[in-house]
A and B are shown apart, each in its own frame.
Chain A
């Protein structure tokens, strides 16, 4: 793992009227790292992600993503990141093949490159049988894997996963994390939010957000030692209860 920071956030703040959704968060993410972004519902995770990926502008503070300033160079950031939301966001009325072609297309990949990527992806995921089937006919676990692979089509430096494992069974979740590991091993940085505390254990480092602030940030091992508990679940409960 290199020591180069690919995300640097400093005092990043987002206010909606009187309500402060994200309150001066400061953190760095290193290249190739799996960075867990934890917090209860409404703690401000999604708002923070939205500022980093450029679809929400911060009220104050600074941030650099993939080496670009989020205010000045949002367009460059977009080319270098991938984003997968909890809805998996594939088009149900398009086939697997058409979805891949479409998403490759909007990132400006050449037709040849899309075809290469598609063949490779279909083979890795074992989707040969269903390439011409509508996505609506696929089971949830397959959709999730497909959505993840589509996020990687344009070889982004960083991928942002917003609760990527919501609603899938434990076996599929396990397989999904194997895909995340594989991706991180190739040098792609993974920024992931999750509800599942067992998943937090898989991350290189985790931050825990409570009421818009980052209350803890460290490796899972050191966090457990610091709070003198056995699992991330207990760390989280301790922090969230205050």
Chain B
């Protein structure tokens, strides 16, 4: 045991004396959370729009007022001619143009129907979509106000309620993903690099010739990273709760335990990578290409898995991050307990055991 403590102590010297790894360890989580929290967002706020009002009557004025009163839009300019539409878009000043047809009120009253054209700049399809949805919903509200005195016998009123993330804050979507990426990166990449470094420097041989058993060497290398990853997870959760106002609805203890499980999963992947790579550079490339990309693309972090082609959906099942993100969202946003996420947990446990078994086998082969 004393030998082991000495070993772990040495490992901490390595980490704390290497500024770069220290920066990756602690700088990156903070930077990423802040970036995803504030800079990268799907929400729309004060989007500049232009209005082309051909009728200029009471109804259109009311609608325009409603739209400009909402926090989502600010009316940047009024234009007079159809030909101006393209030029305002080209100047890039507005994201959308509302085009009211001639004699809007009159038509609405006489023919019961009038048209507004919503033209959006779809170079950014997500924003365009969101804008048109928001305008639609404002219009629907307005219409209901108009009709409230009229009794229609049969009416289907769809009531949409967004639950778990009612304000549709994209931060809530990103935090679980960012946490997953950071834990994966820190745990898997840093351990695989630190183990391959011993190989590269020739110290691994010396360690194997010493009375330390191979598994003690590996555990000794991994323990500091478990410790640091747990600190990282805490930093991320604290930042998300207090800075990004992300709720944790479920049990903190469960959240902690699941995080430790995922950290161990990532560490065993890191060990596996170190058994197949000879140099630190290889280990880094494998970690980045083999872990980061799948985590970002296939885990459901940014792109919803349900809208992927079937083969990719199948592949996404072998990405541990996918399951961890489901668990995180479950605990943090829905506040569910273990009875709702035991399946995902079990999958992570199985994957961890599989990676460990495989590394032990590979490690032995390498020693032959």
Interface residues of A (CB under 8 A from B): 53-57, 75, 78-79, 81, 83-94, 98, 101-103, 105-108
Which 7 residue pairs of A and B lie closest in terms of their CB atoms, listed nearest first? A87-B202, A105-B6, A83-B209, A89-B202, A89-B206, A89-B203, A93-B17
Complex Cα gap A85–B201 (Å): 10
Q: Are B205 and A85 in contact (CB under 8 A)?
A: yes
Q: Are A98 and B210 in contact (CB under 8 A)?
A: no
Complex Cα gap A106–B6 (Å): 7
Looking at chain A's contact residues, is the secondary structure mostly helix, strand, loop, or mixed? loop
The 8 Å CB contact of B211, one of A87, A94, A101, A106, is: A106
Closest approach, in angstroms, between the C-beta of A101 and any C-beta of chain B? 7
Within 8 Å CB of A90, what residues of B?
A: 203
Interface residues of B (CB under 8 A from A): 2-3, 6-7, 9-10, 13-14, 17-18, 201-203, 205-212, 367-368
Q: Are A98 and B10 in contact (CB under 8 A)?
A: yes
Within 8 Å CB of B201, what residues of A?
A: 87, 89, 91-92
Task: Specify the chain A residue showing the minimal Cβ separation from B16.
Answer: A93
Within 8 Å CB of A102, what residues of B?
A: 6-7, 9-10
Given contacts A102-B6, A106-B6, A108-B2, contact A91 B14 (CB under 8 A): yes
The count of A-to-B residue pairs whose CB atoms sit within 8 angstroms is 71
Closest approach, in angstroms, between the C-beta of A126 and any C-beta of chain B? 24
Q: Are A106 and B210 in contact (CB under 8 A)?
A: yes
Q: Are B13 and A53 in contact (CB under 8 A)?
A: no
The 8 Å CB contact of B202, one of A54, A55, A85, A108, is: A85
**6 A/B residue pairs, CB under 8 Å, sorted by A:** A56-B367, A78-B209, A89-B203, A93-B13, A105-B2, A107-B210
Within 8 Å CB of B209, what residues of A?
A: 53-55, 78, 81, 83
Task: Specify the chain A residue showing the minimal Cβ separation from B5.
Answer: A105
Q: Are A94 and B13 in contact (CB under 8 A)?
A: yes
Within 8 Å CB of B368, what residues of A?
A: 56-57
Complex Cα gap A93–B21 (Å): 13
Given contacts A93-B17, A101-B6, contact A78 B211 (CB under 8 A): yes
Q: Are A55 and B367 in contact (CB under 8 A)?
A: yes
Complex Cα gap A33–B18 (Å): 43
Interface core residue of B202, B203, B209 (most chain A CB under 10 Å) = B209
Task: Specify the chain B residue showing the minimal Cβ separation from A86.
Answer: B202
Complex Cα gap A54–B209 (Å): 7
Task: Specify the chain A residue showing the minimal Cβ separation from B220.
Answer: A106
Closest approach, in angstroms, between the C-beta of A129 and any C-beta of chain B? 21
Within 8 Å CB of A101, what residues of B?
A: 6
Within 8 Å CB of B7, what residues of A?
A: 102, 105-106
Given A56-B368, A89-B205; 4 other pairs, CB 8 A cutoff? A83-B209, A86-B202, A88-B202, A102-B7
Within 8 Å CB of B17, what residues of A?
A: 93
Given contacts A85-B205, A93-B18, contact A79 B367 (CB under 8 A): no
The 8 Å CB contact of A108, one of B3, B10, B14, B207, is: B3
Task: Specify the chain A residue showing the minimal Cβ separation from B206.
Answer: A89
Q: Are A91 and B205 in contact (CB under 8 A)?
A: no
Task: Specify the chain A residue showing the minimal Cβ separation from B202.
Answer: A87
The 8 Å CB contact of B3, one of A57, A75, A85, A105, is: A105
Q: Are B10 and A78 in contact (CB under 8 A)?
A: no
Within 8 Å CB of A81, what residues of B?
A: 209
Q: Are A55 and B210 in contact (CB under 8 A)?
A: no
Task: Specify the chain B residue showing the minimal Cβ separation from A16.
Answer: B368
